[in-house]
Amino acid sequence: MEIKYDLIVIGAGPGGYVAALSAARQGMKVAVVEKQTVGGTCLGRGCIPTKTLLHTAELYKEAKEGEEIGLLTSGLSVDMGKLNQYKNQVVDTLSGGIEASFKKVKIALFRGEASILQLDQTDPDSGEKYQQVCVGEESLIGRKLLIATGSEPVHLPLPGMDLDGVWDSTDLLDNDQPIDSLVIIGGGVIGMEFASLYASLGTKVTVIEALDRILATLDKEFGQNLKMILKKQSVEIHTSAKLQSIEEGSEDGKRVLICHYLEKEKPQLSSGEKVLVAVGRRAYTDRLFDDKLEVRPQTERGKVLVDERFETSVPGVYAIGDVIPGIQLAHVASAQGENAVAAMLGKEPPIRMDVVPSCVYTSPEIASVGMTADEAKEKGIETETLKFVMGANGKSVLTRQERSFLRILVEKETGRILGAHMMCARATDMIGEFSSAIVNGLTADRMGEAIRPHPTFNEAVAEALRTFKE
Ligand code: FAD
Ligand code: NAI
């Protein structure tokens, strides 16, 4: 028997493809199996398509309000068909780029669904351990295996979820028609990005969120501010509102979907032409393990369990990304991929996993990294918050931004940067500076030594830092 690959990767999302490239660049012979888009959920039906649509929606919104700034447009409209084509073009370009990188480092790409046949077997000739995977008729044998199969939308077990027009994020991303009214179930990250997107396109948006606030995993102030901003765009947000069922109805002679929910225990209803259900994502391992597979990695509620080196309970078998417990973000999956490959090669992890920036691409953008003031307090750390309101930032004024701000959390005694939390234009680009500052233990004074160009949104960082110990 020939052990042909050093590593077999199942799933070419941001976890799997980054791991595969890293392994190949470090001399491993790698095979990747992917059944859909090379680039995964992120590229095919997640990060990239949503941000492509948001880009056009944002331009449209700005142009519509352009008269005051001397931008005269007549007959301005969005062609959803063309927008959808453009989004697909962006996806194809980036996916093709990853495939070209695979070719360059001689990664073998197999298209199809992988099934794991055998794990932790010993080759009788060489005494080496191996893992076996099949893709259709093809059998792949490798020393190590990386499971990077990602996640899929959670489906609620409620009446009416199968009705035509009740969509998940993948369905809505494929939409190429204007939508008059949209009800969004779930005020999490996906829900709020789509609310911002469709509100900008002129759709009447209603959000139904079970918890007492939107964007519940982030600092309270973000959700409160976003709610106010979206309200100005006529977005209706119902919190402490739990969906019960969806049924078909008709309004003004048009078919609508009526969502029944309990808001603060009272029965209520909202209707829309379409319904987006965005209530979380579950780890995806459907048909991954062959029925006859004896040695299996341990799982918990469908998620593959791993240790701090991303190795599963089966030696030589690793897992990363949305399929394991923890934060479901593309950059987290990629970082885990790099660290898992380092572990396979007996090297130190190159990336710190304890400092994770998280971003929401609403308008304005939201970005956050490191500790919040409450978390620092719980740890008994005395802090100072450096706050800057963007109303005094030239670039924010001239581009007519909504009320926005940034906050930097600093350890009082040492001046060490502990966290940064922003809601402003380009927040998602600016947050990286703070990830780097926290990882490198920089103080507010050291960060303040750098000149930031004028006029930029980034100048606000210098302004805020200047207020330390003022
Ligand atoms: P995935 O990207 O899900 O990739 C897994 C791949 O494995 C898939 O391509 C799948 O086809 C393949 N696969 C599964 N099983 C098999 C099998 N048996 N055989 C072969 N192939 C298989 N994150 C961000 O950081 N920023 C964002 O802006 C952002 N926006 C998002 C927007 C939306 C609408 C959604 C849904 C998600 C978004 N995310 C975002 C989350 C991000 O997409 C995921 O965290 C990320 O894609 C996880 O990467 P992964 O490699 O673990 O899995
Ligand atoms: P989420 O967990 O962020 O939000 C789901 C929301 O649905 C929660 O607030 C929950 O309370 C609510 N909910 C659940 N059941 C409900 C019910 N019956 N009625 C009303 N509300 C209900 O999950 P989401 O938005 O689906 O996103 C999944 C993941 O995708 C995120 O956790 C994030 O990691 C990733 N993502 C990241 C993005 C980014 O980085 N910009 C963008 C989009 C997604």
What is the residue extent of each domain of the chain? 5-152+282-344, 166-279, 364-465
Domains 5-152+282-344 and 364-465 share a fold: no
Taken in order 155, 158, 164, 167, the sign of the CA dihedral is: negative
Q: Which atom of ligand 2 is nearest to the CA of 361?
A: 41
User: CATH number of the domain at 364-465, out of 3.20.20.140, 3.30.390.30, 3.30.450.40, 3.40.228.10?
Assistant: 3.30.390.30
Decide: 175 and 80 in contact? Cβ < 8 Å: yes
Distance 37 CA to ligand 2 centre (A): 23
DSSP 416: B
Long-range CB contact pairs, 23-28, < 8 A, 24+: 23/341, 23/344, 24/102, 24/105, 24/106, 24/107, 25/105, 26/341, 26/345, 28/341, 28/344, 28/345
Best probe residue, ligand 2, of 246, 277, 281, 358 (max atoms within 8 Å of C-beta): 281
Q: How high is the pLDDT of residue 114? A: 98
Peptide bond into 364 cis (omega under 30): yes
| Given the residues 155, 331, 421, 454, the one annotated as active site | 454
pLDDT at 217: 93
Question: From the alpha carbon of 33, which atom of ligand 1 is closest?
Answer: 20
Predicted local confidence at residue 313, as pLDDT: 98
The pLDDT tens digits along the chain (470 residues) read 788 999 999 999 999 999 999 999 999 999 999 999 999 999 999 999 999 999 999 999 999 999 999 999 999 999 999 999 999 999 999 999 999 999 999 999 999 999 999 999 999 989 999 999 999 999 999 999 999 999 999 999 999 999 999 999 999 999 999 999 999 999 999 999 999 999 999 999 999 999 999 999 999 999 999 999 999 999 999 999 999 999 999 999 999 999 999 999 999 999 999 999 999 999 999 999 999 999 999 999 999 999 999 999 999 999 999 999 999 999 999 999 999 999 999 999 999 999 999 999 999 999 999 999 999 999 999 999 999 999 999 999 999 998 899 999 999 999 999 999 999 999 999 999 999 999 999 999 999 999 999 999 999 999 999 998 77
The CA-based angle 94-199-159, given to 5 degrees, is 90
CATH number of 166-279: 3.50.50.60
The correct answer on CATH 3.40.1110.10 for the domain covering 5-152+282-344 is no
Closest Cα to atom 28 of ligand 2: 280
* Residue whose CA is at the smallest distance from ligand 2 atom 26: 280
Contacts of 103 (CB under 8 A, 6+ apart): none
Query: Which residue type occupies 277?
Result: V
Distance CA 321, CA 212 (A): 29
User: Contact at 8 Å (CB) between 169 and 290?
Assistant: no
Pick the atom of ligand 2 nearest to 153's CA: 26
Tokens, residue 401: 């931004």
Question: For residues 50 and 197, is the Cβ–Cβ distance under 8 A?
Answer: yes
What amino acid occupies position 312?
Answer: T
Q: What is the CA radius of gyration of the chain?
A: 24
Residue 454 known to be catalytic: yes
Nearest ligand to the CA atom of 169: 1
Please state the pTM of the whole predicted model: 0.97
pLDDT at 55: 98
In angstroms, the Cα distances linking 153 to 84, 172, 224, 275, 301 are: 21, 12, 26, 14, 15
| Cis ω for the linkage preceding 455 (within 30 of 0) | yes
**278, 188 contact by CB (below 8 A):** yes
Which residue lies with its CA nearest to atom 12 of ligand 1? 11
188 lines ligand 2 (CB under 6 A): yes
Ligand nearest to the CA of 155: 2
